[in-house]
Chain A
Amino acid sequence: MAKGRVSIVVERCKACGFCVEFCPSHVLALSSTFNSKGYHPPHAVHPEKCSGCDLCGMYCPDFAICATKTDAPKKADPAKEGDK
């Protein structure tokens, strides 16, 4: 289960490759398709590895990518226990 999720705004990407290079868990790769400006945006080749650290989002010079932590189901468990 992935801890995080990458979200990409394809049209803003200029394919600098910073996110691909600096992703600590190697989630991303540049895709072979083009956006309307003719750049190859990245896509998540290993989405299950994403930790949601958002380092890709910090490096992106075009504000085109961000990663968020997915709410783990663990969070819901203590609440349920509390109810009991």
Chain B
Amino acid sequence: MTDCLNTDLLDDPLGDDRLNTDLLDNSISVENPVERFLRSDRMPHIWCPGCGIGTTVNSFARALIESKIDLGSLALVSGIGCTGRVAGYVKLDSFHTTHGRAIPFATGLKLANPKLNVVVYSGDGDLSAIGGNHLIHAARRNIDLKVICVNNLIYAMTGGQTAPTTPDHSTTSTNPYGVFEPSFNLPHLVEAAGAVYVARWTTFHVRQLARSISEAFKKKGFSFIEVISPCPTLYQRRNKMGDALDAMKFYKEKSKIRHGAPTSEVGMTMTGEIIVGKFVDRERPDYQTMMKAQYTESLGERFVEPTEMVCS
């Protein structure tokens, strides 16, 4: 393993013993369990120190281990933005699409090859702003997609502009005197549109998030998992909320697990309580089941199920 601990780097160039190298004796390299899901040659990634996206990818990888899913039947689609970069860092069949269009591309993948497990991994700006229409329509049609929305409350990659999820009274580069627009309550939005599985966690809840992702893999239909994630560089810094570690402590202090909470009550404020948990878990026929039922009913024997697509 080339990138295991390099003890040479730990030797103090100045020669004083500020560091006890005995304590850093990690010469036996241990493979990180998530390593096989990553494109190690592309590490370290571009995300800022303390950015929560890496933690969500970590939980996602652990959910893949836990659910023992066949990686050959898995496709990951992401849009544009900080979270959009996930597609480039995972060693899975992944697709980095145009801005806001992760769900349409994923829908196409699912329709062409219904056996695929399609995961949409994107940010709040990509999914709920430019891709907002696709989000609600995919939820309405109940297309069998697992959507992981990493919500850092801001447009981070482009310089910290106000996003539809930015809470009231926070300061952003486009609202230097404070945001006055009401923000989206994403779990409420997708539940109203028809999602069958809706959950919200923060990057503090790593184990719960991994469990939630494995649960979503077992559901058939539109699953939506929102992950509140720190953005130390743009959101926290501009709002004088400290660094990423402060954000994690804030999540620990302010988050309250309420499974099955009515999604209308889980809206976020800048400093208030963050309600997390599994809000919706229901059954509804998915798009392809409804399509098949409709065609069988109206066409009878003339309906021929599309055969499996073979890529040559």
| Residues of A near any B CB (own CB < 8 A) | 5-12, 14-18, 21-22, 31-33, 35-37, 39, 43-45, 47, 54-55, 57-63, 65-66, 68
Q: Name the distance in Å between B61's Cβ and chain A's nearest Cβ.
A: 9
Q: Which residues of B contact A (CB under 8 A)?
A: 3-6, 9-10, 12, 18-19, 23-24, 26, 28-30, 32-35, 38, 43-45, 47-55, 58-59, 62, 203, 206-207, 210, 243-245, 248-249
Contact among A6, A22, A32, A37 with B19 in the assembled complex (CB-CB below 8 Å): A32
Residues in A with CB closer than 8 Å to B45 are 62
A1 to chain B, nearest CB (A): 16
Instruction: Point out the residues of chain A lying under 8 angstroms from B54, CB to CB.
Output: 60-63
Q: Is the CB of A66 within 8 A of B3?
A: no
A-B contacts, 13 of them at CB < 8 A, read A5-B30, A8-B24, A9-B5, A11-B9, A15-B49, A37-B44, A44-B24, A45-B23, A58-B58, A58-B62, A61-B51, A62-B44, A62-B54
Q: Closest approach, in angstroms, between the C-beta of A45 and any C-beta of chain B?
A: 6
Q: Are B55 and A59 in contact (CB under 8 A)?
A: yes
- Tell me if B4 and A9 are in contact (CB < 8 A): yes
CA distance A78 to B113 in the complex (A): 50
Shortest distance from the beta carbon of B36 to any chain A beta carbon, whole Å: 11
How far is A32 from B19 in the complex, measured between Cα atoms in Å? 6
Beyond A7-B4, A10-B9, A14-B50, is A44–B23 a contact (Cβ under 8 Å)? yes
- CA–CA, A32 and B50, complex, Å: 19
Give B217 Cβ to nearest chain A Cβ, in Å. 18
| Contacting pair A18 B245 (CB below 8 A) | yes
CB distance from B86 to the nearest CB of A (A): 12
Minimum Cβ distance to chain B for residue A79 (Å): 23
A-B pairs, 5 with minimum CB distance: A61-B54, A14-B49, A16-B50, A7-B30, A66-B32
